[in-house]
Amino acid sequence: MSQDTSPPSSPAPDDARPRGALSPAEAGAYIGGFKTTTLERWRKRGIGPAYVQVNGKSIVYRIADLDDFLSGNVVRPGVADGGAA
């Protein structure tokens, strides 16, 4: 039986993100193909999905927050207007 004695590899930069967190580019793709500039504009206007600001600079989006954002923006035709057709 041989033991693997190689040192552990250094984590890639993306591995430093919290588990379950996506970059703005990944988050935009996750919620429907939005560009990072759209997410940035939403952040400045105080709208869009919740996000986490790491070290006062880097932005990540938690998958749970993206799912909440999508759930909160479901449109059910006929429901918002009292069901009248």
**Residues paired with 74 in a beta bridge:** none
What DSSP letter does each residue of 9-59 carry, written as one string? PPPPGGGGSPTTEE-HHHHHHHTTS--HHHHHHHHHHT-SS--EEETTTEE
State residue 2's pLDDT score.
47
pTM for the complete prediction?
Answer: 0.70
pLDDT above 90 coverage of the chain, percent? 62
- pLDDT tens sequence across 7-40: 444 344 455 566 789 999 999 999 999 999 999 9
For 66, the 3-state DSSP assignment is helix
- Looking at the predicted structure, is the pLDDT value of residue 48 above 70? yes
Of residues 6 and 30, which shows the higher confidence score? 30
Of residues 82 and 71, which shows the higher confidence score? 71
The rounded distance, in Å, linking the Cα atoms of 27 and 5 is 38
